[in-house]
Amino acid sequence: MAAKSMFRVYLKEQVGHLAERQHPWVFSGAISRLEGKPEDGDVVALYAHDKTFVAWGLYNSQSQIRIRLYSWCESEHLDNNFWRIRVQEAVDLRRKTLDLSETNAYRVINNEGDNLSGLTVDFYNDFLVLQFTSLALYQQRDIIVEVLKKEIKPRGIYLRTDKGIGESEKLTLADGLYWGEEPENPLKIKESGLNFYISLQTGQKTGFYLDQRDNRRALSKYAKDRSVLDLFCYTGGFSISAATAGAKEVLGVDVSETALKLAEQNVDLNNLQNIVKFEKGDSFQVLTAFAAEGRKFDLIVLDPPKFAKSKGGISSAIKGYISLNDLAIRCLNPSGILLTCSCSGRINLDQFAEIIRLAAVSNRRHVRLLEKRGASPDHPVSLTTPESTYLKCFICHIQ
């Protein structure tokens, strides 16, 4: 790709403030005009309405995110060396901030958090999983993969797709082996002294919820001698962490039979058969039934899937979170612990705090926030991209 772009894109005057925010997404409605006819994936230069340079980005006429921005320095250009350096910076950050003696599963590239909007890369015990959510960045895959192979030396690289991305980005991809060896299924990883089986081929996200690593560790401080209910438990990450930390009994609930089969294997792998049990069911329905029969727990974990997938879904998502936390609080013993999460990027911290407050008040219970947490540090947040602060994890004492 050429170092410089012959294509210029101009913002509308009324959205000039977008240039100051350095948000990496430029939606189609913010654009007033184009100079030239860029093809999808071409480098474009973004300018304010007054012809002031804003940033360099990649163009996609098929997406509502018409341009993804990567550099706000006019003298810097999006050539192969640029992508090489950007990937190298992400790899180096993990080497400097992660204790790789404790885990062999971590995030290598975190989308906007690493200034690589449209790309997620995870490492699992000598295998890399790539997930592209940008057609334009996918077209840079050769140089990206070249750097990853050189720096990390994986046995294989697997490609996973994100639901709906084909329609939104006109990106036609299929899950499967991209390069090297096919990963074992299941593949064993380690985390904080525990072992887990994961499936890179069929698991949620890229195979495991790496963003909850430190929150699983944090749960351990509260689990000793408590009865634990782990809802939306997936393959048992929180359940096994609680049991290892001394919980007297743990019940995990998930609607996916496939996930629960892997969860059972993880229990066996960590020799916790006498403490952890699993039940297939809808977490809302299970909680409703427990509340009706007066069944109580000392610690409840709520880690539901994303409720707000678009701006229009925020209101219904808030109602769903309130209902879920209300039911959980009904099922908590006095002085119980609630670890509750939201992975909806469109729900901010203040909104989530208000959700928990409303749920507690509706039950005439007093709530104290013990810890306000987010994703583990290999999932850095871009302060110019509020949506990247997607994971919120509150640990609360419910009187």
Q: Which of 364, 373, 375 is nearest to 399 (CA)?
A: 364
Alpha helices in 212-339 (DSSP H): 213-223, 237-244, 257-269, 283-293, 314-330
Evaluate whether 277 touches 267 at the Cβ level (below 8 Å): no
Handedness of CA 50, 51, 53, 54 (dihedral sign): positive
Residue type (1 letter), 18? L
d(C-alpha 148, C-alpha 393), whole Å:
31
Rounded (10°) CA dihedral 80, 86, 92, 93: -170
Q: Which element (helix H / strand E) includes 168?
A: helix 165-169
Catalytically active residues are: 343
Sheet holding 127-132, edge to edge: 105-110, 119-124, 127-132, 156-159, 176-180
